[in-house]
């Protein structure tokens, strides 16, 4: 066909390179994930929802114009290259411009170009101009929506209409976190008022993993024989427990605010000014009374005289309040209101059983820090709607309290905790929205879901929108779509287009600082149901193990039916756990999930495979990683530094890739070739917790470096950012030259004069520029 094949092939290649480079510059990082040395793409292997590629790309009209303009260049037309593609684009242009197709080559009318179109939806614009071309398929390919962990700690709000697949969506997201929890340390908490979500999760194959079973905690108020013991006031603020006065004060203030959240649910409404005043001081006092529980609160309302010795242990305004105001007649009516409400709550025997414990049988602070999987059934059918709300709020308050106590833990050592709350409309209030801003600092990520916006008061709704960075909406009403469109940065029509299909539920998703506008997500339906499940014996063993560890029983049960003491505070006692030596603990067994012939479920994710990490030797990681480690070592030693590779820190809890030391200077280097941004954020926090002069994050290429700097920068405080630099390998010589060796002032005699010479210290910016050209040679060797 072509007489000069080399000429035409060169022209074709030049055009394609120009087009693809224009596209690739705008594509997101997850479209170009390099495999590690084993060929794995671990960063995006976890379960995650997907979205079309174009939803991540800025300037879609400009890119479409670039494609059209390139194909229609005179050289390519004269060489008759891309004729079929050009003809299809011409047909599309004619249709987009309302020009008859048969007149597309003869018309004198101007074609309407993509930038001038009135079509606001990028997906529709692509279909109009690129239909029938391979470029449309590129833009429509589904890729994972990767939201950095730092953004997840800014919380997630899910709004899904009835029947849209809200519970299925939560199952899928929770499964992703549990899968990661098998191989990484993180805790997952699920609060469910219906119980179905928890049952599906507990029957999943994930709990065949021994480490996950060991960390599992199940809290179910329907277990009357061995319920958990709950006590909101069981918190140790002693100097021995929390040595820092500042941390102790921070925890105390935040805990008192959480009590407002719980007490509001006890009274069934927002606290009045007088009730709020009484409760805030009562909260401080209750934390000073050993073994105080909800009945202690009741006794305080009935006759507080016997608690005067505890009141005298308080300080400041709290002590003055109890000495001068608490016993004042003006507060008698308030006390009666509170007392009547307490009696009403305690009439629910299940709540009375659990809330009467002198201490918590589950130490949530320790459990969450240890990476536990905590499932909480708030059992609306069993407790009633009001009882379920009280129980839910109590547990959310306990979770918040546990997270606030992390003020005593170094930032890098705080275990990521992911909390999911279904049917959250009865739990979300002003205090919870304020709590959202607090727990993010302690690596607590809250995801809550409900059905429509009218379930939240207008003021609460505004707080939810302001304090959640990730938002999902699907199956919403036209009214809600109009209200949400501004926060989602999209049209109401786009929100209304998100419907439930046969095999997936579609959602609009907006993630602050991740997506410029809402993107369309596809969540597979029936994902957990399509996986392997535990046998009945395995499930029972899982639940029984949790009951044995955390359940308590009635004192009279232990005493073979003898009458319990009159004090409700004594009703509960610790259950002795007896394990027969000759009875092995049942092991959950996997059995195949029953196949439902009425549904076609298409799942493209691979099943969970537990990976055993190989120990890293000196110079850990792959070939590139080791090369960069030794490059740092050699460059540092040339400049008088002592180098340490893969040095353990924090009493063996972590290690730093390379540390350079010289006199009072210590430099920590972390290297990222294929590791995730979230992993490297943890590495940087680990280094910042130690007194290094400076911390350096080295990336293998420019695109990865930019991604790391953006992600990690969002997770650092302003003062921490000053101690961190993001560099490429070729920047190393110049950076190290910014720390010159100390020079001794020299004196010598020249023709009878004493001459003192001083050496000026190198400027870091000048040093970087001076050495970049030389270092480029070194860096190129990494690419080979």
CATH assignment at residue 631: 3.40.1350
Lowest mean pLDDT among 166-175, 369-378, 486-495, 610-619: 610-619
pLDDT, position 671 = 93
End-to-end CA distance of the chain: 38
Res. 217: pLDDT tops 90: yes
625 CB burial (10 A radius; 0-12, 13-18, 19+): buried
605 is a domain residue:
no
* φ and ψ of 726, to 5 deg: -115, 115
Count the domains in the chain. Answer: 3
Helices 332-346 and 245-267 cross at an angle (nearest 10°) of 80
Cβ pair 355, 383 in contact under 8 A: no
Closest-CA residue to 301 (of 257, 265, 267): 267
Strands 753-757 and 746-750: antiparallel
720 is a domain residue:
yes
Same-domain pairing of 101 and 189: no
CA dist., res. 418 & res. 368, Å (int):
10
CA distances from 239 to 249, 253, 384, 581 (A): 11, 16, 41, 41
Q: Convert the pLDDT of each residue in 392-421 to its tens digit.
A: 888 888 888 889 888 888 888 999 999 999
Distance of CA 485 to the CA centre of its chain: 24
Cβ pair 387, 177 in contact under 8 A: no
Same-domain pairing of 363 and 467: yes
Same-domain pairing of 72 and 193: no
Closest-CA residue to 367 (of 242, 243, 219): 219
656 CB burial (10 A radius; 0-12, 13-18, 19+): buried
Same-domain pairing of 120 and 228: no
Q: Which of residues 512, 533, 554 is at a domain's end?
A: 533
Q: Convert the pLDDT of each residue in 113-142 to its tens digit.
A: 998 888 878 889 999 999 999 999 999 988
CA dist., res. 17 & res. 113, Å (int):
23
Q: Convert the pLDDT of each residue in 268-323 to its tens digit.
A: 555 567 777 787 888 889 888 888 888 998 899 888 899 999 999 998 898 999 99
Same-domain pairing of 240 and 374: yes
Same-domain pairing of 520 and 656: no
Closest-CA residue to 697 (of 16, 688, 104): 688
Q: Convert the pLDDT of each residue in 57-96 to its tens digit.
A: 888 999 999 999 999 998 888 888 899 999 999 999 999 9
CA distances from 719 to 3, 239, 469, 684, 723 (A): 66, 28, 24, 14, 7
CA dist., res. 199 & res. 354, Å (int):
22
552 is a domain residue:
no
567 is a domain residue:
no
563 is a domain residue:
no
Which domain covers residue 278, as residue numbers? 168-533
Same-domain pairing of 206 and 127: no
578 CB burial (10 A radius; 0-12, 13-18, 19+): exposed
Cβ pair 361, 546 in contact under 8 A: no
Sign of CA dihedral 278, 281, 283, 289: negative
CA dist., res. 623 & res. 770, Å (int):
28
Region for residue 379 given its phi and psi (left: phi exceeds 0; alpha: psi -120 to 50; beta: otherwise): left
559 is a domain residue:
no
pLDDT, position 266 = 62
CA dist., res. 600 & res. 49, Å (int):
19
Same-domain pairing of 287 and 332: yes
Closest-CA residue to 470 (of 530, 427, 519, 527): 519
568 is a domain residue:
no
CA distances from 550 to 155, 202, 227, 578 (A): 29, 17, 8, 13
Same-domain pairing of 101 and 173: no
Closest-CA residue to 68 (of 144, 129, 139): 129
Q: Convert the pLDDT of each residue in 463-475 to its tens digit.
A: 899 999 999 999 9
Cβ pair 450, 147 in contact under 8 A: no
Q: Which of residues 486, 517, 533 is at a domain's end?
A: 533
Distant-in-sequence, close-in-space partners of 644: CB < 8 Å, separation ≥ 6: 658, 659, 660, 661
Q: Convert the pLDDT of each residue in 716-773 to its tens digit.
A: 888 889 999 999 888 898 899 888 775 545 555 554 555 555 544 445 455 445 455 4
Round the average pLDDT of the chain to a whole number and report it: 80
Same-domain pairing of 208 and 340: yes
Same-domain pairing of 268 and 175: yes
Same-domain pairing of 429 and 462: yes
Q: Which of residues 144, 177, 192 is at a domain's end?
A: 144
Question: Where are any strands of DSSP class E within 103-168?
Answer: 142-144, 156-160
495: pLDDT confidence band, cut at 50, 70 and 90? very high
Element (H, E) at 181: helix 166-183
Sign of CA dihedral 296, 297, 303, 309: positive
539 is a domain residue:
no
């Amino acid at each position: 066909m072509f007489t000069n094949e080399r000429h035409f092939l060169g022209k074709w290649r030049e055009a394609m390179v120009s087009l693809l480079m224009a596209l690739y510059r705008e594509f997101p990082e997850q479209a170009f994930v390099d495999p590690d040395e084993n060929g794995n793409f671990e960063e995006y292997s976890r379960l995650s929802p997907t979205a079309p590629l174009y939803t991540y790309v800025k300037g879609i009209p400009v890119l479409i114009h670039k494609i059209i303009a390139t194909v229609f260049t005179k050289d390519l037309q004269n060489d008759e290259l891309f004729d079929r593609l050009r003809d299809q684009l011409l047909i599309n242009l004619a249709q987009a411009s309302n020009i008859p197709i048969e007149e597309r080559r003869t018309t004198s009318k101007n074609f309407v170009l993509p930038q001038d179109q009135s079509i606001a939806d990028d997906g529709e614009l692509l279909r109009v101009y690129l239909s029938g071309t391979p470029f449309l398929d590129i833009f429509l390919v589904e890729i994972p929506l990767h939201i950095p962990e730092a953004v997840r700690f800014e919380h997630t709000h899910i709004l899904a209409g009835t029947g849209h697949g809200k519970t299925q969506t939560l199952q899928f997201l929770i499964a992703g976190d549990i899968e990661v929890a098998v191989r990484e340390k993180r805790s997952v908490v699920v609060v469910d008022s219906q119980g179905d979500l928890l049952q599906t999760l507990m029957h999943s194959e994930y709990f065949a993993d021994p480490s996950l079973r060991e960390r599992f905690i199940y809290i179910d108020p329907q277990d009357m024989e061995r319920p958990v013991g709950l006590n909101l006031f069981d918190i140790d603020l002693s100097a021995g427990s929390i040595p820092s006065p500042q941390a102790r004060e921070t925890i105390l203030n935040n805990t008192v605010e959480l009590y407002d959240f719980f007490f509001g649910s006890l009274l069934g409404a927002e606290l009045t000014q007088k009730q709020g005043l009484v409760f805030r001081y009562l909260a401080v006092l209750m934390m000073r009374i050993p073994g105080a529980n909800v009945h202690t609160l009741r006794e305080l309302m009935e006759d507080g005289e016997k608690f005067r010795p505890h009141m005298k242990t308080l300080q400041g305004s709290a002590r003055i309040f109890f000495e001068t105001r608490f016993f004042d007649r003006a507060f008698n009516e308030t006390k009666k209101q509170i007392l009547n409400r307490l009696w009403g709550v305690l009439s629910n025997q299940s709540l009375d059983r659990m809330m009467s414990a002198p201490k918590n049988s589950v130490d949530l602070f320790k459990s969450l820090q240890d990476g536990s999987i905590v499932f909480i059934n708030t059992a609306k059918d069993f407790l009633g709607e009001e009882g379920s709300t009280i129980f839910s709020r109590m547990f959310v308050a306990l979770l918040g309290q546990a997270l606030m106590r992390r003020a005593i833990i170094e930032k890098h050592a705080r275990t990521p905790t992911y909390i999911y709350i279904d049917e959250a409309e009865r739990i979300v209030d002003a205090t919870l929205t304020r709590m959202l801003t607090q727990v993010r600092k302690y690596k607590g990520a809250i995801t809550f879901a409900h059905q429509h916006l009218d379930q939240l008061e207008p003021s609460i709704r505004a707080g939810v929108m302001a304090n959640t960075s990730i938002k999902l909406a699907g199956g919403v009403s036209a009214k809600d779509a109009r209200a949400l469109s501004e926060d989602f940065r999209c049209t109401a029509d786009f929100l209304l287009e998100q419907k439930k299909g046969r095999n997936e539920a579609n959602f609009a998703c907006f993630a602050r600082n991740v997506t410029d506008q809402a993107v369309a997500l596809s969540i597979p339906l029936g994902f957990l149901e399509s996986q392997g499940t535990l046998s009945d014996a395995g499930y029972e063993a899982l639940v029984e193990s949790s009951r044995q560890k955390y359940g308590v029983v009635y004192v009279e049960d232990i005493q073979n039916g003898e009458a319990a003491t009159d004090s409700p505070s004594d009703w509960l006692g610790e259950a002795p756990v007896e394990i027969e030596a000759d009875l092995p603990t049942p092991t959950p067994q996997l059995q195949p999930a029953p196949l439902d012939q009425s549904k076609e479920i298409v799942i493209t994710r691979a099943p969970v495979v537990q990976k055993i990490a190989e120990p890293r030797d000196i110079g850990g990681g792959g070939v590139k990683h080791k090369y960069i480690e030794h490059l740092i070592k050699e460059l540092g030693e040339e400049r008088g530094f002592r180098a340490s590779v893969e040095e353990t820190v924090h009493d063996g809890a972590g290690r730093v890739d390379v540390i350079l030391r010289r006199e009072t200077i210590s430099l920590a280097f972390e290297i990222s070739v294929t590791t995730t941004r979230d992993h490297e954020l943890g590495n940087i926090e680990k280094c910042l917790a130690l007194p290094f002069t400076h911390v350096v994050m080295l990336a293998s290429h420019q695109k990865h470096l930019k991604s790391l700097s953006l992600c990690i920068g969002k997770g650092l405080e302003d003062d921490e950012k000053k101690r961190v630099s993001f560099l490429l390998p070729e920047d190393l010589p110049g950076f190290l030259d910014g720390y010159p060796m100390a020079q001794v002032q020299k004196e010598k005699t020249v023709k009878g004069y004493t001459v003192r010479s001083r050496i000026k210290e190198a400027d870091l910016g000048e040093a970087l520029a001076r050495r970049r050209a030389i270092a480029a040679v070194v860096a190129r060797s990494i690419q080979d």
